[in-house]
Amino acid sequence: MTKEEWVEFFEAVNGRIPTAQEFQEAKEKGEFSIHIESINKVNNLEEANSTVSNSTYTVCPKCNCKNENGSIFCPNCGTKMDGTGMINTASNIAGSIADRINSFTGGEGVVELKMRDLFSQVFKKHTREEAENIFACGSKTTTPLPENISKEWPKPWYFARVFLLLLVSSFMLYFIYVTWFNRIAFPGLMFVAALTGAMPVLFFYFECNSPRNIDIMTVFEIFFIGGILSLVITHVLTTIFPSGAGELIPSMMTGLIEELAKILATGYFISKFKYKRYIFNGLLIGGAVGAGFAVFETAGYIFNASLLPFQMEDQLIHVFNMNPQNAVTNAILRGLLAFGGHVAWAAISGAGIMMVLKKQQEFNWSSIFTGESLRFLILVIILHGAWDTNIIPTLYLQYIALGILAWIIIFIIINRALKEINDLSVENNPSVNFVENE
């Protein structure tokens, strides 16, 4: 089997291009023979271009990349060269949306959405040692050098365990509350339910942080202080500017105020951590601020839903309602839908700041309103404003659609974060990106 035939066979079986390691292993095992002397440039983000021949090339119908080796799959995006794979499936529609958003925010090329790889470890059994290794990071001895940072799509799984733990805890507290009408259980139910949606997403960002240069205690510091700081800024701004929900303009003002508050809090921590400048770091820092904001706000909404207005003489007071229906409904709605709200929007803004700092190096407050940071900020303000409006009569569909859109943006950011790491690896070790065929 020739090298070209082996690559084509690998693509047909696995649906992707071989990595440098897989290519080298196959070469050492003698799975193919090489008839001519050439250099095969291999990209560690699971891209590989076969040897350039003198024959005429074809152009990919999706990304317009030149396919010079006659492969049935595009070496850049994996699409079939005859175009038969370009059906409007959900995956292709998401990919098309991702490419447009990526272009708007200053990105180049086709976006890879490897969602299957991203969640491939969730339902597999993992050991306690594997869980402990996730948190062994952030120190000088546990932070890898730039050339040793993983360039593969992250495969987080612990976040799903966190979600299950919080969900079960919420149901147990709910059972105690409704069975024995125990008011003492209600504050616990209120706070744990508020954690259920946002906290697993924060752990997801933590696991995705390939540079492994931020420890879990720092994440919790940002969660508490950043969340409270963003709430303080929000309250200051709402005393100056009008806001609201339901109508378009008041909702957009709410989006502007709250997203501005969170990005200012995120900017504070980014300026504080001068040596944490990866895009993945911005995703995690912003996500921690957004998670704190979401949890504290959601807990407040749950508590507010448990009160009933009561007129006493000339004064309106609020009394505690032992009927848990309103509070629990609010907890479920706001808790479970948090995945597409504050914790996603703030993470997007944080990653945008880091993209700007790749060019500016030093942080200054104008970085927030520059380049990619400004573009992502505009996107999250629109998403937040649309979330608060009554665009669709069925709000659940509206929330789910906007949440999916927010996560497409996050997948775009993960794609660009991996490209950043790959580029840094090449800069620190140029030989890593070339394999010489004998």
Mean per-residue pLDDT for 62-86? 61
The Cα 196–Cα 206 span in angstroms is: 16
Highest mean pLDDT among 93-102, 289-298, 317-326: 289-298
315: left (phi > 0), else alpha (psi -120 to 50), else beta?
Answer: beta
CB burial of 56-70 (b: ≥16 within 10 Å; e: otherwise) equals eebebebeebebbbe
- Compute the average pLDDT of residues 45-51: 41
Listed in sequence order, the residues at least 6 apart from 409 whose beta carbon sits closer than 8 Å to its beta carbon are 101, 344, 348, 376, 379
pLDDT band at 395 (very low <50, low <70, confident <90, very high): low
pLDDT over 50 at 50, yes or no: no
CA–CA distance, 163 with 121 (Å, rounded to integer)? 15
For the chain, what percent of residues have pLDDT higher than 90? 50
Would you give the DSSP letter of residue 323? -
Non-local (6+) Cβ contacts of 221 within 8 A are none
Residues 75, 144: Cα–Cα separation, whole Å? 30
- Lowest mean pLDDT across 147-151, 185-189, 337-341, 431-435: 431-435
Does residue 280 or residue 434 have the better pLDDT?
280
Lowest average pLDDT, out of 21-25, 67-71, 183-187, 205-209, goes to 67-71
If pLDDT is split at 50, 70 and 90, which confidence band does 142 have? very high
What average pLDDT does the segment 385-402 reach?
Answer: 84
Lowest mean pLDDT among 76-85, 100-109, 242-251, 407-416: 76-85
As beta bridge partners, residue 41 has: 434
Unique residue bearing structure tokens 């932070």 = 143
**Alpha carbon of residue 336 to chain centroid:** 17
Task: Enumerate residues 6+ apart whose C-beta is below 8 A from 184.
Answer: none
Least confident of 14-18, 106-110, 268-272, 353-357: 14-18
CB 381, CB 240: distance < 8 Å: no
Strand order in the sheet with 434-437: 47-48, 38-43, 434-437
pLDDT in tens, 271-283: 999 889 999 999 9
Across the chain, what does the average pLDDT equal? 83
Mean per-residue pLDDT for 284-305? 94
310-341 per-residue burial string, b: 16 or more CB within 10 A, e: under 16: eeeeeeeeeeeeeebeebbebbbbbbebbbbb
pLDDT at 51 over 80: no
**Helix, strand, or coil (residue 316):** strand
Mean pLDDT, residues 290-304: 93
Helix (H, G, I), strand (E, B) or coil at 19: coil
Q: Which of 112, 103, 22, 97 is nearest to 419 (CA)?
A: 112
Residue 110 has a CB neighbour count (10 Å cut-off) of 21
d(CA 29, CA 160): 38
Least confident range from 136-150, 340-354, 384-398: namely 384-398
pLDDT of 254 reads 96
Query: What average pLDDT does the segment 15-31 reach?
Result: 70
Which segments within 179-306 are labelled E, that is strand?
A: none
Instruction: Please check the confidence at residue 88 and state whether its pLDDT lies above 50.
Output: no
Rank 93-97, 264-268, 419-423 by mean pLDDT and report only the highest: 264-268
Confidence tier at 328 by pLDDT (50, 70, 90): confident
Q: What is the pLDDT of residues 205-230, one digit of tens each?
A: 999 999 999 999 999 999 999 999 99
Q: Which two tokens stand for residue 345?
A: 């929007």
Confidence of residue 44 (pLDDT cuts 50, 70, 90): very low
Tell me the CA end-to-end span of the chain in Å, nearest whole number.
Answer: 16
pLDDT level of residue 378 (50, 70, 90 thresholds): very high
Q: What confidence tier does 426 reach under pLDDT thresholds 50, 70, 90?
A: low
**What mean pLDDT is predicted for residues 1-6?**
72
**What percent of the chain has pLDDT above 70?**
80
Phi and psi of 45, rounded to 5°? -90, 35
pLDDT above 60 for 78: no
CA 223 – CA 49 distance, rounded (Å): 43
Burial class (CB in 10 A: 0-12, 13-18, 19+), 270: buried
Closest CA to 417 of 364, 339, 347: 347
DSSP-derived pairing of the beta strands 38-43 and 47-48: antiparallel
- Predicted local confidence at residue 98, as pLDDT: 81
How many helices (H) and strands (E) the chain has is answered by 15, 7
Closest CA to 131 of 105, 103, 100, 162: 162
Angle at which helices 227-238 and 279-305 pack, to 10 degrees? 70
HEC assignment per residue over 57-85: CEECCCCCCEECCCCCECCCCCCECCCCC
Six token digits for residue 258: 């709250």
Q: What is the pTM of this model?
A: 0.78
